[in-house]
Structure 1
């Protein structure tokens, strides 16, 4: 059955800011507390979505979280009016306050893990929101993320939604950022590759020493069970602990796959040869293209700085593949030289398109962080909430909405302003009407 891969990008929220909350994410920490531009960030994200739509891709939009998270601040003991809660929290617990203002939901690759119907035992698309337990500011997301996904994929004939895994570090789950699906085409059963950073129940196994491993093997195994995946088409691969300690906090910072291509750095995995051999065995007789980038060609730090692997690989209508890369890759002589050579090497990747997503890059996420991939049949696509799919009209309406509601510049100190909270709620309430999502936010319920 013919399927297409749909990229659902997270829309950057009205309170996009640089709080520097993510220990282990070099870009996030290096830009902590700098001024941000919510309007520019949202428009950059929309421009990328529209560009992929214009290339012939099916493109969707996922709503952001509502921030500041007043409900969580109240749970933590701050009382009174919303304005009073903001004032108390920002003065008495500034670190907690900044965490409850996080802009991190824009990185939709962490929203959930998705298994298409071709792979699952019941023939439905399965969604499990990531619990994101390793970072407090991200652990606030899964409940609303679940509601956004349920409003976007609302037909239970085609879609199965699971609750996020138990909120404990033993089942730390970071979503699709540590999950790659390889296949001959999107409509056929593929090999689902889960990449984990550590074993939760066996401390004798290899693990990073400096930065945390956010994904556990046990979490990945649980999701595979929930999604009804076969052992014959599921592979669990450990990320190289040394790479995590160099700032490679997710697998999608050091490898990316699409159909029969796995593009990876030679240091990406702990036991690379055995992992790739298992993937090829389970993939079957069809050829897999393993595109390895050597350290001598692109050092790890240059790959992280430019997000060479946090790019999207997409299959265009004519069957060729293209890389969607941030302009930081183009600005790096090392990386741009490599990419220019790559497209002439006889692999399925024939083009590179560069995009300005600097507002996201400065906060620690490239193009691949901004999207959740969902392989779908035509019938499944028809069952999706059509208001969330990119079109000329949706693009124009969302641009108008951003220009109406978003500020040009924002500092971390601005987040305690009750006027900004009211602005944000007004904007998000209007967005749920534009995208026909219903009451997904706590302030609407």
Structure 2
């Protein structure tokens, strides 16, 4: 009998990490466009977060950075790394696969009629710099979850239906190994920024995973939240087991969403943060909701693993301090430093994909241990560029540096088969 637990798979931040400002509607990405990025520091921050989670007793995995620059993608556009226009060159260098929450949508085995964990890789077709990620991500998912007795890995939903993966998907359940209610959050265009998750894609994923309509909720993200810079639902809401932690303005019709949740899961606990306490601007700036809401081993309640930016925001931190002092389900606050990721628009939750599975059924090469993280950190410290400024993207030497760095990481992890 397999033992199902939640495993967080973090994307290792790649050696081409830079601030090109490619993500329209992502406030942090736009604000820091053109600044110097620090790939080595970024990757080490991500590794430190994984170490922190292991220290809490949580199961932890990781994904490799994708091969960058994506020469094949440029060739499909009839150009080369030397001859491409600056915006295409920048898109080919993008290290955005680090945000593993966009890797796929995951339905655990207890939710699926065939008793398998289903993963559908996201197509990310809305943004050019992310639209060429899915083949490399699919290859990793097929390798990590190759055991067909326990997993079914699916190709992406076809365009033009945009699918951005688990960043727009939540699951409520009594425990991780019990059947749950899956919430697919979609957007509608009409404001200043594009809605990245289409309802057609969400419904398609639910059908592909075989989910019954009585266990699924389709909820529209609030247009005001998208306009404020909540480009994914996980910037304004997060769920774990029976708890939904959400901003008051996360959903277009919040009461209808709450009623649907209570109908399907009467013991669900919905923690609503009023806009009068924390406005959308502070919520998005601090990435309060882009936290990992996790169940602590040993019956110690739940913890929020959140960025240090949330601690630095007085309104956010005062609210959270009062929240954990109460008798609610969230009992612990764990700030982590992921500032390099935050400056490009991704917090702790962006960096991970949640998969409920027995760790023994996952390819061990993708599972983290303290020793393996030490090995990965050593490769990063030796091979990752210390800094990348915008003008370096046209430097041929950078191509060699980032390509060699990734090759060394694949070798140390026994994953050279993923080398492009």
User: Equivalent residue for 1:148?
Assistant: 140
The correspondence of residues 32-431 of structure 1 with structure 2, limited to 5 A, is: 32-78=33-79, 85-89=80-84, 93-168=85-160, 171-198=161-188, 207-283=189-265, 285=266, 287-319=267-299, 320-377=301-358, 381-431=359-409
Q: Do the aligned partners of 2:385 and 2:401 also contact (CA within 8 Å) in 1?
A: no
C-alpha distance in 2, partners of 1:365/1:345? 29
Tell me the SS of whatever aligns to 1:86: coil
1:265 Cα deviation after fit: 0.6
Tell me the SS of whatever aligns to 2:67: coil
Q: Do the aligned partners of 1:327 and 1:356 also contact (CA within 8 Å) in 2?
A: yes
C-alpha distance in 2, partners of 1:337/1:331? 10
1:389-445 CA distance string (max 9 Å, x none): 111210110010101111111112212222222222222223223333342243xxx
What is the number of equivalent residue pairs in this alignment? 418
Q: Where does the alignment leave 5 or more consecutive residues of structure 1 unmatched?
A: 79-84, 199-206
C-alpha distance in 2, partners of 1:439/1:415? 27
C-alpha distance in 2, partners of 1:434/1:282? 46
C-alpha distance in 2, partners of 1:212/1:120? 31
Q: Do the aligned partners of 2:385 and 2:402 also contact (CA within 8 Å) in 1?
A: no
C-alpha distance in 2, partners of 1:437/1:191? 35
1:370 Cα deviation after fit: 0.4
C-alpha distance in 2, partners of 1:154/1:425? 26
1:39 Cα deviation after fit: 0.2
1:195 Cα deviation after fit: 0.3
C-alpha distance in 1, partners of 2:339/2:316? 17
Q: Do the aligned partners of 2:21 and 2:30 also contact (CA within 8 Å) in 1?
A: yes
Q: Do the aligned partners of 1:152 and 1:437 also contact (CA within 8 Å) in 2?
A: no
Q: Where does the alignment leave 5 or more consecutive residues of structure 2 unmatched?
A: none
Deviates more, 1:130-139 or 1:387-396: 387-396
C-alpha distance in 1, partners of 2:311/2:191? 33
User: Equivalent residue for 1:204?
Assistant: none
Tell me the SS of whatever aligns to 1:137: helix
1:324 Cα deviation after fit: 0.4
C-alpha distance in 1, partners of 2:153/2:318? 43
Q: Do the aligned partners of 1:192 and 1:235 also contact (CA within 8 Å) in 2?
A: yes
Q: CA RMSD in A?
A: 1.2
1:280 Cα deviation after fit: 1.3
Q: Do the aligned partners of 2:116 and 2:150 also contact (CA within 8 Å) in 1?
A: yes
User: Equivalent residue for 2:25?
Assistant: 24
C-alpha distance in 2, partners of 1:440/1:331? 39
Q: Do the aligned partners of 1:127 and 1:162 also contact (CA within 8 Å) in 2?
A: yes
Tell me the SS of whatever aligns to 1:257: strand
C-alpha distance in 1, partners of 2:68/2:3? 39
Q: Do the aligned partners of 2:407 and 2:416 also contact (CA within 8 Å) in 1?
A: no
C-alpha distance in 2, partners of 1:221/1:431? 37
Tell me the SS of whatever aligns to 2:82: helix
C-alpha distance in 2, partners of 1:247/1:118? 34
TM-score, normalization by structure 2:
0.97
1:232 Cα deviation after fit: 1.2
Q: Do the aligned partners of 1:8 and 1:374 also contact (CA within 8 Å) in 2?
A: yes
Q: Do the aligned partners of 2:302 and 2:330 also contact (CA within 8 Å) in 1?
A: yes
TM-score, normalization by structure 1:
0.92
Q: Do the aligned partners of 1:289 and 1:347 also contact (CA within 8 Å) in 2?
A: no
1:263-301 CA distance string (max 9 Å, x none): 001111011111111111112x4x211000111100100
User: Equivalent residue for 2:413?
Assistant: 435
